[in-house]
Structure 1
Amino acid sequence: MQASPAFSCEYSFDELSIRLCDRWETGLLLYGRAELTSAGDDYEDEFYVSAIRLDGGARLARPNRSNTASSFEMELFRRIAAVIEDDRTHIGRHAAELFANELEQCRQIDHDEPRKLEQERILEPLM
């Protein structure tokens, strides 16, 4: 069985605050876009943040072994992603709702539409 390709969509956030020193830091508000990517076939309708682009242009990639980002950038990514992926936060609930809506719309698209249109085009002259 072939795995389905990962679905992703873009989520815009503004005035995102992160946790610092065990409290929500509202003196540091972040603005940007996050790429929400499906977590895989075993985690239907769940997502993770795969990339973040801040409004100033900085791009933060999900930390991994080959990622050479500074420890500050990796920690900033982790903290932003933690808020967006947490459905107990307002932003997390909003991101989850957007992801679910976008995924449902994608599922409703008829991926066989080009073939059907071609068949209709061929059959039209026969009528």
Structure 2
Amino acid sequence: MAQNAALFHLVPLNDVSRESLSQPDNRRFVSLSAEKALGLGLEVGFHVSSVPGRVIARLGRNGDLILQQRNISAVHVAFELHPDTLAVLLSVRAKHMSSVTVKPAKSDEEGGERENIEGD
């Protein structure tokens, strides 16, 4: 199960992204998803960030959660807290926007299917 401090879990959906689970620097943030059928994932929460402030976690070659693939930027994406609304924002900092795909899991009440989120 994700630690109590985790806001949510990132579950890799392909072999390339699954490599992040075996990255030694990520090991302390790998845990079983609350939806056990989804398997292991990376925890995202304030306990992950190495920088104080509104940043919850940065993912990339030099991020809080390490992604080692060649096409990954130093900071590929970041989860941040909006100062006024306290909403969690996904900030894409990748050089190539098409390298970022988000598929949130729906609850069982919604049929357990996934839906893509697309941004500008």
Q: What TM-score bracket applies, with the shorter chain setting the length?
A: under 0.3
Normalised TM-score (structure 2): 0.23
Q: Counting strand residues as a fraction of each chain, which structure ranks higher?
A: 1
Normalised TM-score (structure 1): 0.23
Q: Counting helix residues as a fraction of each chain, which structure ranks higher?
A: 1
